Amino acid sequence: MCGIIGYIGSKDVVPVLIDGLRKLEYRGYDSAGIAVVAGGAVALRRSAGKLSNLERAIVADPIAGDYGVGHTRWATHGRPTEENAHPHRDCTGRIVVVHNGIIENYLDLKRELQQQGHRFVTETDTEIVAHLVEREMRGDGLEHAARRALMLMRGLFALVLISADDPGKIVAVRKGPPIVVGLGDGECFVASDIPAILSHTRDVVFLGDEEMAVVTRSGVTFTDFFGRPVSATTQRVLWDPIMAEKAGYKHFMLKEIFEQPAAARDTILGRISQDTGRVFLEEMTITDAQLAAIERVTILACGTSWHAGLVGKFLIEQLARVPVEVDLASEYRYRDPIIGPGDVLLAISQSGETADTLAALREMKRKGHPTLAICNVVGSSIATAADGGIYLHAGPEIGVASTKAFTSQCGVLALLRSEEDTSE
């Protein structure tokens, strides 16, 4: 997952953007860039590799502006080069976009736009967004052009846009990956994750799925993709910034390895009766009748969560005698799997935002199959999309290589097996 930051307010924008990107470094990235608007023009700096390379590029050739956006990229389409690093621009260079996710139909859109005379300079899927918005600009504002463009794009994406021709405005869009809007005093932020803005504000709104935020210095309006106003709830983040920091360890991963006993305790305790040993999984909104009707469990996950799924297969098959298949969500979503009425789908994802797992789960839901999820991040897309599920309660996992979340995932799968045990 890449990092996104946007800022509009009276602070010096470049340090705010760089600082925000630094707080998101833990997600992993291959290149970075920022764009700011100053004096009616866009200024942009990008760099392959570490954030320090970008900082050096800015020192060598300084930029300043009134507001802007920044991005750390984790390439999906196009090599990790400076040219492919975000932000990307339209033909005029006045519309700027940063993007998390994948535009599935970008090749069709690119061909169409090229035929209409648009010139592409990168290998990314993201660049089509800038050109589409350019084509859809009709003098009624960036948000309207963005809405028209959105209707043509397939995939899962978070986008943040600015245009020098519609100054003083940042437009953020969410279809899948998260976007958080931070509200300050005469200033606003957008980001892909809370740590990026926590040192500036604790008042945040999590943008809902298929919603748009139009952010200005004096406030934010929230709408759906059709421009209809939606209600937004401001939440006060109680996270201590230290919780998202390394707490004295050299690396997040090291810290999280040592947190495993506590994480496993937090996952399991409170769900087991100390007297009877019976397991209670209140969030599993699945009835005994539904449980008894299960003929096959398909576990869908990616990466480390997929390995937890393999452990789950052993645990569940051994005791419940129900066949379990463990599938990579990225493969599953693109084939035409054979699914019967007795099938239940169990998605596993630490972040709850793994794009392939989310897409596969949504597809199964659409076909009418019961879905369950095991996630760590409360309120995440997969957790909310599934019919029922279990949270890990393992605390924030910052290390990209999963440790304590894996242990807790195995803990939850063992509880599932025990749940079967007691219901027999």
In the bound complex, what is the minimum distance in angstroms from residue 22's beta carbon to ligand GLU? 16
Kindly report the number of other CB atoms within 10 A of residue 394's CB atom: 27
Q: Which is nearer to ligand GLU, 124 or 349 (CB)?
A: 124
Q: Return the residue of 73, 169, 271, 417 that touches ligand GLU, per CB under 6 A.
A: 73
Using the rule CB under 6 A, give the single segment among 119-127, 164-172, 197-205, 341-349 that binds ligand GLU: 119-127
The token duo for 360 is 């596969």
Using the rule CB under 6 A, give the single segment among 55-63, 72-80, 216-224, 274-282 that binds ligand GLU: 72-80
Using the rule CB under 6 A, give the single segment among 37-45, 94-102, 133-141, 281-289 that binds ligand GLU: 94-102
Q: Which is nearer to ligand GLU, 33 or 184 (CB)?
A: 33
In the bound complex, what is the minimum distance in angstroms from residue 79's beta carbon to ligand GLU? 9
Order the strands of the 155-163 sheet from edge to edge. 88-89, 95-103, 155-163, 170-175, 211-216, 219-224
Query: Which residue has its beta carbon closest to ligand GLU?
Result: 2
Q: Which is nearer to ligand GLU, 102 or 214 (CB)?
A: 102
If one asks whether residue 351 binds ligand GLU (CB under 6 A), the answer comes out as: no
> Residue 163 corresponds to which amino acid?
S
In the bound complex, what is the minimum distance in angstroms from residue 86's beta carbon to ligand GLU? 6
In the bound complex, what is the minimum distance in angstroms from residue 176's beta carbon to ligand GLU? 11
> Residue 290 corresponds to which amino acid?
Q
In the bound complex, what is the minimum distance in angstroms from residue 194's beta carbon to ligand GLU? 18
Q: How deeply is 158 buried, as exposed, middle or buried, from its count of CB atoms within 10 A (0-12, 13-18, 19+)? A: buried
The token duo for 400 is 């990209």
If one asks whether residue 2 binds ligand GLU (CB under 6 A), the answer comes out as: yes
If one asks whether residue 102 binds ligand GLU (CB under 6 A), the answer comes out as: yes
If one asks whether residue 124 binds ligand GLU (CB under 6 A), the answer comes out as: yes
CA within 13 Å, CB half, 286: 25
If one asks whether residue 101 binds ligand GLU (CB under 6 A), the answer comes out as: yes
In the bound complex, what is the minimum distance in angstroms from residue 25's beta carbon to ligand GLU? 13
Q: Which is nearer to ligand GLU, 77 or 365 (CB)?
A: 77
The alpha-carbon radius of gyration of the chain (Å, integer) is 22
If one asks whether residue 337 binds ligand GLU (CB under 6 A), the answer comes out as: no
* Contact in structure between 154 and 167 (CB atoms under 8 Å): no
* Contact in structure between 50 and 23 (CB atoms under 8 Å): no
In the bound complex, what is the minimum distance in angstroms from residue 121's beta carbon to ligand GLU? 13
If one asks whether residue 49 binds ligand GLU (CB under 6 A), the answer comes out as: no
Distance CA 32, CA 312 (A): 38
Number of residues that bind ligand GLU (CB under 6 A): 14
Q: Which is nearer to ligand GLU, 4 or 204 (CB)?
A: 4
If one asks whether residue 120 binds ligand GLU (CB under 6 A), the answer comes out as: no
Q: Return the residue of 38, 63, 75, 310 that touches ligand GLU, per CB under 6 A.
A: 75
How does DSSP assign 364-392, residue by residue? HHHTT--EEEEESSTT-HHHHHSSEEEE-
How does DSSP assign 65-117, residue by residue? -SEEEEEEE--SSS-SSTTTSSPEE-SSS-EEEEEEEEETTHHHHHHHHHHTT
CA dihedral 56, 59, 62, 66 (to 10 degrees): 80
At 220, which helix (H) or strand (E)? strand 219-224
Binding-site ranges for ligand GLU (CB under 6 A): 2, 73-78, 99-102, 124-126
